[in-house]
Structure 1
Amino acid sequence: MKPSYPSTATPAFLGTQNPLASSMPVFLEPRFAAMTPAELLTHFRLRAVTNYFPLKPGKAKHVASAQPILNNEFTLNNETHRLGDEFNWLHNPSPDLEWLIMLHKFYYSRDLALAYDYSGDEGYADKWVALVGSWIEQVPDGFVNSQVTGRRLQQWLLAYHYFVPGRHCFKITADFLLTLLSSIQSQALFLSNNLTPEGNHRTIELSAIFTVAVLFPELSASASLLAFAQRELLDNLRHDFLADGVQNELSTDYHHTVLKNFLRVRELADLNGLALPEAFDTVIRKALEFSIYAHKPDGWLPAINDGDINSYLSLLRKAQRYYPGDALSYVVSQGAQGKPSTQRSRLFADSGYCILRSDWAERPYADGRYLFFDCSDLGFGSHGHYDLLSFEMAAYGRSLIVDPGRYTYHEHDSDGVNWRHAFKGTAAHNTIMVDGKDQMAYRCHEPVGPQPRAAVLSFESNQGFDFVHGCALSPQYEVQHQRSIFFAEAEYWIISDLLLASDAHRYEQFFHLAPEAQGQIEWLEAEQGHGIQAPDLLIAQARRAEVATSLEPGWVSPEYGVKHPAPVLSFSQQCKGSGWFQTVLYPYKNIAPALHVEGISVTSLGQSVPATQALALSILIQSETTTYHDCFFVAHQPGLTEYHFADVICQAQVLFIRRDAEGGILSVRAYAAEWLEIGGRKLLDSIGKPVCLNYAQGQLQIDAIDGSVPA
């Protein structure tokens, strides 16, 4: 049965004499300190609960989850340990410190509270009281670190609202309630004096202080804690997010951890009639805007840097109440409500994150093509991976090229593998490794010494294409890595990698496929080029004798402590100096087209142009109903030179031409172009004024890219 709700009369058992009644609890405001413990218990039971988040009802699944906890059996981070009846909170039965941290965060108290709500069984309350009571007896404030304290307070306060206000739970005694309240204030005061300097931990800690102060005005320190939290939260908010709205640790998962805690502050402030400054809402709106773009069409987030593969659409749904907007509604509803963002693709310039995607109006919504390009530095703190210029790609409702995730935070190698390094290192990402080295000297936690740096050199999102060009430098080697990504016809991607060096190096390019591709890969025929056909994805390069291809075993970790085998496609070459790769990524739905990729020679002033200066590809795509002859050109060197290839003469950084089976031109896309001739026909003469050119369906559109008037 459900827990009963008390009448306004004081329950008879509260009249029992309590030994604490003769002493004044100094942690309470004078009016409440003057009450007897029994009166205090009655006060907190009968107090209104409209100033806290709406409580979800318990379900049968919570009873099932809570059962092992009754026997001190805890499954944390996918690792299970059974502790003794009188276990020591300071002892870690796991080699992973994160397990002990999770034990002290008390996330499992939610299952106990909801199991009680569903069943009315006092045994769940009894267990929560026993766990909290023994923790208070054994553990000093701040054990492990401050953010653990913040998380624990959040979980205790959630459980408290299931066991105390409006409830008649016999296991919550006056003695326990006073002990609990005293500990809550003590931990909040500890946090106020021991805040983490920066990052998501500080946000969690401040959110916990704010929550304690708002929910318990009866505590003697509440007023000062509230003033402290309000002051520090706004300052922390400004430091936590970059100007483009991305959280400064540059983790997609921790971005939403921070966003969730600030949204909790916003909701509690609203429930309790507290005003927050306009600057607070301005930053949150920017953070939500990044979240809108970062979510893939299937509703999931890529696990960039440390974090799990998660969906935060439910969080965005809650945010709609305070930050309504058409774009937010559109993403939350998967295109069923609201209106899409006005920009199809987006560069977040301060972080270096770039999302290239197909039209928001794609139907089904999940079929949209999506690529997340990581042209960022490592970020603040210890959560950055050595993944500069990596990316994740999804299409037709599936993640096809993925970031493998984090798996673990510790280096225990009982199986001979340092899994922290294995998932954090450069080889675990969709980028290029030089001489078998990480982009940064490996450390389990925060980096020490010079760090690799990345920068976006150019970005263009136009009606018929997207183009982004970035570069990365590592202190581990002399090589400069430049990567450009061209999104053609909102259909497929062409990735051009240039590696500039004067000494000999080995270059390895990695593409990490989803676990669903395991055992489902076929090599392309020789005439198609180097590459593979995987489920819903073709990967191809023009065939080159100096480039070796291989399929290697890899892993993908959807959540902490869990990893699944997944294949990794590798292209590698040994060069005396500079090197390059050019790769076509063609996603498809159900039936793969025939794809053929060949290199095209490029000349300038009658001389062959080296690949480190410019590259051109011929891409033949044949499906059951259509045939496309695509041609792609990219110039790597700054400054415009006249280039010749096939029947084309151009001065441009990027050029894409699509022809039909008969050779008729269907579309032309050009970026930073000043001159263009195709088949002897001049399409553009804009010398000295680089422009974007789009031609499709008989319509020609020319747009300036430098503020000048188009020719």
Structure 2
Amino acid sequence: MTDLPTALPHDLSTGHGERTEIPGNYRRIADQWSAGVMHTSRYPDTVVGDPVDWTLDAHDGSWLFRLHNMEYLFSIYRSLDESGEERYRELAQRLIESWIAAHPEVVHDTPPWMRHTTAMRAQALAFAAGIIPASEAYVAALHQHGAYLADPANYSGAWNHGFDESLALLAVGATVSHQPWIDLAVQRATEAITAMCDLQGATNEQASVYHYYVWKQFGQFEDELDRCGIPHPPVLRRRRAIVDFLVHASRPDGMLLAIGDSLDTRTPPIPGTPLEYVTSRGATGEPPARRIQVFDRGWAFARSGWGTERPFAEESVLALRFGPGRAVHGHSDHTSFHYYTGGREVIGDAGFSGYANPERRAYELGEYGHGQVLVAGAGPYRPLTETRMVRRIETPQWEQFVLADAPYRGVARERTVTFLHDPECVLVHDTIRVGAAGAVVRQLLHAGPSLEVADRTGNESIRLRDGRGELEIRQLLPVGNIDVSRGQRGLTTTGWAGAGLGRTVPSAVLTSRSAPQDGRCDYLTLISPTAEVAVEVAPHEVCLGAHAIPLFTALPEGTHA
């Protein structure tokens, strides 16, 4: 343990660990706990008893995390603050004393003492100072949590869990006025910010919604430093840059693009920033300066506009993944893209449905859950491989991005994605070079959940349809065959997309198979949400309407038309 105080002072500093973001239904949460019932999102109301049965294992690990992290205490604190009713103070005291009595010692690797669980509970316990009596047991529990968090063996490092641990250590250290813990927490958090967030505002979490979570964490760090009278480290300025990422990761319908471990989340309204314009859908504020933005950590965004020449809701956006190998909350999604147009996502991936189902979780994390080209017979897929952006072209009419990597040993993969505005379409050129004999190449495309197959023309064209219109996916080069899976019975993975914790919905997956010729395989795929686009293919370019789109890698002899 690190610098454990020898005395237990009862003169506690108050207000540390404060959470400003409380669930909108906080009064219901508090009142349910008064009745011995735990109410939390995504789970049915659960009778936990009064006194609480802390050994209860009612649902799954995520529910146990919520039971023992005690974040619901903040709903009780808010109810007390707004109503002044002493029953809420008594409820908070009863829950805290009950939990402490049931957990006198740290038992590592059990649900109550997982690192992230302990960190979040420590913040809730720290904020209770001044609300409940500073009993011997309560003060001892604060020191117990501080010692746990200060122990290097219990620090998760530079990502959101580790940052919550630093926030908790800072809150507990400030509450009990233990300077070594305060210093350690500030040091860890400052070093973590450098690793977690680059100068462009892209985090290391690899999931779009977690950028917002990290932005909130950094803000909580700022507030706690202010309460402690500690100057902000210069690296905290990177928090402002996260806003730019959130701007470009937004959809025209007011939601964030759900990439990686991301549930559907509204784009946060942050007044006085470009997000004010985005979240008001152009009603207030100024439009962002750039229509296209590339973040070096592996995100490229391009959109048709910001609602200045047509209604904001009618704009389209393309998001492309590349960069470092999979980490934290990222998926094996390199070279895959999300395409939002016509008020819905038309190309996406398998989504995210939580951590409880191992089979489903493996699929959503893995390569088959994303729109990319895969090779069977060339050894295992390597999710830690870096994907490079080797070319980027911007014109007023179209944008082009070229990515390259080697996700299998002996395989070179290249993808060129072009986003054309008029007529709107996406052109994808995949070139795969394979050394292994007998390898089979698959191009996967995940259609948005609203789309159902309307008709198809052999292995050349598939037309999908929903209430907002049609989407055509055309293979401009011959492929061996195209399989379509959507919501098939007996399958729990392919053909389904995550739609919230524990939920999936039918979603079409198109799999185009080909065999390499002379060690090379090419796909030239046109994705069009508009009327049929006139196409002419040549070795070095593809003419789409009046636009000549260059091909980064020329097509093999005999494959062009």
CA RMSD between the two structures? 3.7
Distance 1:136 1:312 in 2: 38
Q: CA deviation at 1:466?
A: 1.1
Kindly indicate whether residue 470 of structure 2 is the aligned counterpart of residue 510 of structure 1.
no
Task: Supply the distance in 2 between the matched residues of 1:226 and 1:249 (Cα, whole angstroms).
Answer: 26
Amino acid in structure 2 at the alignment position of 1:539: E
Residue aligning to 1:92: 57
| Contact in 1 for aligned 2:377/2:439 (Cα 8 Å) | no
Question: Does 1 or 2 have the higher relative contact order (CA < 8 Å, sep 6+)?
Answer: 2
Residues 160-559 of structure 1 mapped to structure 2, 5 A cutoff? 160=128, 172=132, 174=133, 179-193=137-151, 194-214=154-174, 216=175, 219-221=176-178, 223-270=179-226, 273-281=229-237, 283-314=238-269, 317=270, 325=273, 327-349=274-296, 351-362=297-308, 363-381=310-328, 383-411=329-357, 418-435=359-376, 440=381, 451-475=384-408, 477-489=409-421, 491-502=424-435, 503-517=437-451, 520-524=452-456, 529-534=461-466, 535-542=468-475, 546-553=479-486, 554-559=495-500
CA–CA separation in structure 1 for the residues paired with 2:265 and 2:379: 27
**Contact 1:515–1:565 (8 Å) recurs in 2:** yes
Q: How many residues align?
A: 535
In 1, Cα distance between the equivalents of 2:425 and 2:325?
28
* 2:511 maps to 1:570: yes
SS in 2 for 1:515: coil
Q: Does 1:595 align with 2:532?
A: yes
Q: Which residue pairs with 2:73 in the alignment? A: 109
* Structure 2 residue matching 1:89: 3-state secondary structure: coil
The farther-off stretch of 430-439 and 486-495 is 430-439
In structure 2, give the amino acid aligned to 1:92.
Answer: D
SS at match of 2:387: strand
1:191 deviates by 0.9
Contact 1:537 1:585 in 2 (8 A): no
Structure 1 residue 229, shift from structure 2 partner: 2.3
CA distance in 1, matches of 2:460, 2:147: 67
C-alpha deviations, 1:483-519, integer Å up to 9, x for none? 11111136332111111113332222222233323xx
Question: Is the Cα–Cα contact under 8 Å of residues 430 and 523 in structure 2 kept in the other structure?
Answer: yes
Conservation of the 8 A alpha-carbon contact between 1:297 and 1:367: yes
Residue 553 of structure 2 corresponds to 636
Letter of the 1:390 partner, please give it.
S
* Equivalent in 516, 521, 545 of residue 579 of structure 1: 521
Q: Which amino acid aligns with 1:228?
A: L
* Corresponding residue of 2:115: 146
> Counterpart in 1 of 2:490?
none
Q: Which moved further from structure 2: 254-263 or 333-342?
A: 333-342
Equivalent residue of 1:399, what SS?
strand
1:617-628 equivalences in 2 (<5 Å) = 619=544, 628=545
Report the identity percentage: 21
Superposition TM-score, scaled by structure 1 size:
0.67
CA distance in 2, matches of 1:645, 1:404: 33
Unaligned runs of 5+ in 1: 1-24, 33-39, 166-171, 413-417, 442-449, 588-592, 603-613, 620-627, 647-711
The one-letter code of the counterpart of 2:312 is: Y
Give the 3 Å change call, closer, same or farther, for CA 55–464 of structure 1 in structure 2: closer
Q: TM-score, normalised by structure 2?
A: 0.83
SS of match in other structure, 2:532: strand
Query: Which runs of no fewer than 5 residues in structure 2 stay unpaired?
Result: 1-5, 487-494
The AA in structure 2 aligned to 1:296 is R
Q: 1:542·1:598 contact (CA, 8 Å) conserved in 2?
A: no
Contact map agreement 2:29 2:40 (CA 8 A) in 1: no
Contact 1:499 1:579 in 2 (8 A): yes
Match of 1:28 in 2: 9
Whole-angstrom CA distance in 1 between matches of 2:558 and 2:480: 26
Higher alpha-carbon Rg:
1
C-alpha distance in 2, partners of 1:188/1:271?
18
Inter-CA distance 438–422: structure 2 relative to 1 (3 Å threshold): farther
8 Å CA contact retained: 2:333, 2:370:
yes
Q: Is the 8 A contact 1:116 1:124 kept in 2?
A: yes
Tell me if structure 1 keeps the 8 A contact 2:496–2:505. yes
Kept in 2, the 8 Å contact 1:101–1:144? The answer is no
Does the Cα contact within 8 Å between 1:376 and 1:389 map onto a contact in 2?
no
Q: Which amino acid aligns with 1:309?
A: D
What secondary structure sits across from 2:211 in the alignment?
helix
Distance verdict in 2 for CA 1:188–1:579, change over 3 Å: same
Secondary structure in 2 aligned to 1:298?
coil
Q: Secondary structure at the match of 1:225?
A: helix
Q: Is 1:133 matched with 2:97?
A: yes
Q: Once the 2 structures are TM-superposed, how far is the Cα of residue 205 of structure 1 from its aligned partner?
A: 1.1
Deviation at residue 305 of structure 1 after TM alignment: 2.0
CA contact (8 A) 1:53 1:268 kept: no
Deviation string, structure 1 residues 354-404 (Cα, Å, up to 9, x no partner) = 1111222444223221111011233444x3322211111112432222233
Secondary structure at 1:405 match in 2: coil
Q: CA deviation at 1:53?
A: 6.4
Alignment check: 8 A CA contact 1:427 1:438 kept? no
Q: Relative to structure 1, is the Cα distance of residues 645 and 630 closer, same or farther in structure 2, using a 3 angstrom cutoff? A: farther
1:8-29: CA deviation from partner (whole Å, max 9, x where unpaired): xxxxxxxxxxxxxxxxx93227
